[in-house]
Amino acid sequence: MADKNHKYPDNVPGKFYVDEQCIACDACVNEAPKNFKMNDSDGHSMVSKQPESPEEEEACKAAKAACPVEAIGDDGA
């Protein structure tokens, strides 16, 4: 389960985030490419844009569900 105390600082502010458990598998980028990107220099994914539509919200939830190490958090903010 993702821990907001260990989220990467390059996540944009908002309810979804990626924490230090990320293994850079690209699952979130594949599920929600408008909202997640890889930080290739540090080898992890990050939230690049918080969802702005119901479709993006669903894509972010799908990305969270697809994460094999539960590194995506949703703090409901």
Domains and CATH numbers, the chain: 4-74 (3.30.70.20)
User: E-strand spans in 1-77?
Assistant: 16-18, 36-39, 44-47, 72-74
- State the chain's maximal CA–CA distance in angstroms: 31
Residue-wise pLDDT tens digits, 3-61: 999 999 999 999 999 999 999 999 999 999 999 999 999 999 999 999 999 999 999 99
- Residue 76 in tokens: 């409901």
Residue 73, pLDDT above cutoff 80: yes
pTM of the model: 0.94
Closest CA to 44 of 34, 30, 29, 31: 29
Please answer whether residues 8 and 19 qualify as being in contact, where contact means their C-beta atoms are separated by less than 8 angstroms.
yes
The whole-angstrom separation of Cα 28 and Cα 69 is 11
